[in-house]
Structure 1
């Protein structure tokens, strides 16, 4: 088939494009003019052309990525597709129809999804079950983020967001037989006007589970009648990661996978890139990269680092990318999130014209919430210079960012300075 993907550069659409190409389809895509690694390099390596294919009837199927509305080019192309009555499907529906299988496992919740999804996939692979799957991140164990197989098993990272052509939570499109829900925080305020609306989405997901007879809860609390602690040797740090491992191992054991395979898989599991990932250790300074933006996730990440390195000062390089951070009301909780760090360097706050001036968060708002340990440095060169002049032996620098390459490039320059320093 000739398949063209709108908004091809994304955690869902790029891996999908690579898999479709691997299966023998002719794949092309559309995106904004300026695209960045890793998506740009992955697509280029696979020889998938971008922005070179005009909308035409010779394309057998158009897959519409969730971000198509955010890009003028793809928004215009979708109008052409509908005007010409060409065949199309949303990326969400494509996942639901071609990746989700009879034994469908969904991993949902506000945090932990990517780590648990990848671990479940890793266990099922080692059990020779050959699942179809979709992971919203890149496993360090070096297997693809998405694969389609003939196996009756599938594992999908199931997000609650509503975007693109979606009219309800993404996880409500996917068939489900087994589910892990890690948490139900009200993160996507742009999708759900109230927390009640957010919780209703999760209730609807639970109601989809066929013949629900047993609900397994995993957490720490006296109200939970059955509890188990993960004593399986593993390479991940942090209490939240041990809970993630407990969730994956409990589900896989419940599905009949031998305990030996589960324990061996967990012992060899390396985690996800940009999830508490150590990316350098030079001059006795540790550099960690993490995707977190939510205060709860940031607190958990910092707490995990603090437990692992109790005597090391922690400094933070924070890039505010998540949409909820761009509003004044979205800053609640960041004081607690950064309570164990010495300083927080805040990079440039993105401007969004859809947020009114009265609601838009400013550096002053961040300072008011976090306190004097926050320093606003909107220029990358200034951030680079700051950390080159201020980091000391035993320091840990944690970079929190969920998008863009500017911050990562700045971090690499900082690391490279200490790497080459004599």
Structure 2
């Protein structure tokens, strides 16, 4: 089968492309404004990438066009289609399908799917779960919205069904964002999991959801698809998830996080005991920081138990977990007289995720005896929700533990300077990457930690900072 993927460089669609290629299909695709790591991964797989969405690609005549949710029927100010290829597909009556639907029909059918949903931590928890199953010798397939460092790839088909099981295992990051312009259900409704992880839930995606109850409704649609022999793993600290479950659950439930949950943690996030029903069943010692990662670990352990992995073995496997690219990834450092300046890359973009990331780094510095080190938070409100300004007033709260903050506005329709005004002179704003780099390098001191946060490429700000500070970008 030849499939041509529109929006191929998105993290999800890039994973679909990798799986299709591994399954022996011919894969081509198109996108605009691509950036690593997905573009690098696709080129390494030998997948032909076409820049833009030109109608001339109809001449490729694939068996089916697979449509990413970046594609719409939108028109440019001059009235021409933003995605002329999609218009040509519709006009020609050519076959097309959404990415999640293609995945269900061609990969997930007949597998035990373990789906990880939640506003935050999906990529990391999915990677943890895949690594736990891999360490147990279960050879899971997976599709992750990032690149787990333990695997070096974002997706693979996986091996046969484990001994004693009828179904091969497949771990997938389950996104609540809509499927395609012609299918407004959440992506995860297509996945039909037997093990569903509900990591957390708060308001996000203001471009497609009116309010939190609208997202809760989609999460309950996911629960409705879990079979009676399945398991729903949920965060016992989240009132929103309690409301979701109260609408009905027909499967086994396992909670984590709260003092009365099935799975709890005791100790610091970098070194903690895992408790099941109050009894110690393992210990996690790793390089990760932050309470959020502690909760992610509990979720992964509870999900892995459903497919036969002993929690003690799961905890030991997490001790070898290397995190995910663009999750507190050190991009390089510069030696200065008096100390080192370190540059990080992180995917945080929602205010809660920004706060969690900054707090995690602060806690790590405090625990290592470096409480005097400064954190310089460099971020861009790039997600659709942040562009709308729905959560702009939460930004000072999210950056509370940062010593200085630098916001790249990039043509926002709302006043970032006003939104950040409660931070006083601790916050600077500019719509120019060059200005941001200049501001940061003028104020950076030995011992500083430059934390760059964006869900996009951020115009290569990491390399620019390292260059400006006097050190080429570290090899990746």
Would the TM-score normalized by the shorter structure come out above 0.5? yes
Change (3 A) 1:278 1:168: same
1:302 and 2:358 matched: yes
Q: Is the 8 A contact 1:112 1:244 kept in 2?
A: yes
The alignment partner of 2:178 has SS state of coil
Among 140, 153, 157, the alignment partner of 2:173 is: 157
Are the aligned partners of 1:110 and 1:184 in contact in 2 as well (CA < 8 Å)? yes
Report SS of the residue matched to 2:461. helix
Question: Which residue number corresponds to residue 327 of structure 2?
Answer: 275
Q: Aligned partners of 1:209, 1:367: CA distance in 2, in Å? A: 43
- Equivalent of 2:130, from 102, 121, 126? 121
Q: What SS is found at the alignment partner of 1:320?
A: coil
Give the stretch that moved more between structures: 323-332 or 48-57. Answer: 48-57
- Say which SS state the counterpart of residue 40 (structure 2) adopts: helix
Structure 1's 39 and 186: CA in aligned 2 closer, same or farther, altered over 3 A?
Answer: same
2:264 is aligned with 1:227: yes
Aligned residue for 2:72? 69
**Contact between 1:314 and 1:397, CA under 8 Å: does it hold in 2?**
yes
> Is the aligned partner of 1:200 residue 2:217?
yes
Matched residue, 2:392: 331
Structure 1: how far apart are the matches of 2:471 and 2:50? 39
Map residues 15-26 of structure 1 onto 2, 5 A cutoff.
15-26=15-26
Confirm or deny: 8 A CA contact 2:381 2:408 kept in the other structure: yes
Residue 445 (structure 2) pairs with residue 384 (structure 1): no
TM-aligned CA distance change 1:363 to 1:213, over 3 Å:
closer
Give 1:177 deviation, angstroms: 0.9
Kindly tell me: are residues 15 and 350 of structure 1, through their superposed partners in 2, closer, same or farther at Cα, counting changes over 3 Å?
farther
CA–CA separation in structure 2 for the residues paired with 1:328 and 1:28:
36
173-182 vs 271-280, greater mean Cα deviation: 271-280
- In 1, Cα distance between equivalents of 2:6 and 2:455: 21
Cα distance 1:405–1:303, how it changes in 2: closer, same or farther (>3 A)?
closer
Matched, 1:40 2:48: no
Q: Separation in 1 of the partners of 2:205 and 2:342?
A: 32
The number of equivalent residue pairs is 409
- RMSD across aligned C-alpha pairs, in angstroms? 2.4
Distance 1:419 1:372 in 2: 26
Distance 1:342 1:178, change over 3 A: same
Residues 213 and 91 of structure 1: CA distance in aligned 2, closer, same or farther (over 3 Å): closer
Structure number with greater CO (CA < 8 Å, separation at least 6) is 1
Whole-Å separation in 1 of the counterparts to 2:73 and 2:310: 46
Q: Distance in 2 between the 1:131 and 1:389 partners?
A: 48
Q: Could you list the runs of 5+ residues in structure 2 that have no partner in the other structure?
A: 76-80, 162-167, 229-249, 267-273, 275-282
Matched, 1:416 2:416: no
Pairing 1:280-295 to 2, within 5 Å after superposition? 280-283=332-335, 284-295=340-351
Q: Could you state the TM-score of these two structures normalised by the residue count of structure 1?
A: 0.89
> Is the contact made by 2:144 and 2:173 (CA closer than 8 Å) also made in structure 1?
yes
Instruction: Judge conservation of contact 1:299–1:336 (CA < 8 Å) in 2.
Output: yes
Return closer, same or farther for 1:388/1:364 CA change in 2, 3 Å cut-off: closer
Conserved in 2, the CA contact under 8 Å of 1:7 and 1:74? no
1:417 is displaced (CA, Å) by: 4.1
Find the aligned partners of 1:56 and 1:326 in 2 and give their Cα distance. Answer: 36
Distance 2:450 2:211 in 1: 36
Secondary structure, aligned partner of 1:361: coil
Q: CA deviation at 1:280?
A: 2.4
How far 1:111 sits from its partner (Å)? 0.5
Query: Relative to 1, partners in 2 of residues 1:182 and 1:243: Cα closer, same or farther, differing over 3 Å?
Result: same
Residue number in structure 2 paired with 1:166 = 183
Aligned with 1:268: secondary structure?
coil
Segment of structure 1 superposing worse, 50-59 or 262-271: 50-59
Structure 1, residues 51-86: CA drift from partner, whole Å, max 9, x if none? Answer: 387214842121111212288778322222233222
Give the conservation status (yes or no) of the 8 Å contact 1:319–1:348: yes
2-structure distance, mates of 1:225, 1:59:
49
1:321 corresponds to which residue?
Answer: 382
Q: Cα gap change, 1:70/1:416 in structure 2, threshold over 3 Å: closer, same or farther?
A: farther
- 8 A contact 1:232–1:267 mirrored in 2: yes
Query: Residue 214 in 1 paired to residue 249 in 2?
Result: no
Distance in 2 separating the partners of 1:414 and 1:383: 9
4+ residue runs of structure 1 moved beyond 6 angstroms? 70-74
CA change 1:57–1:226 in 2 (3 A) is closer
1:138 aligns with 2:155: no
Judged with a 3 Å threshold, the aligned counterparts in structure 2 of structure 1 residues 296 and 166 are, in CA distance, closer, same or farther, namely same
Within 5 Å, give how 1:344-363 maps onto structure 2.
Answer: 344-351=405-412, 360-363=413-416
Deviation at 1:204?
2.0
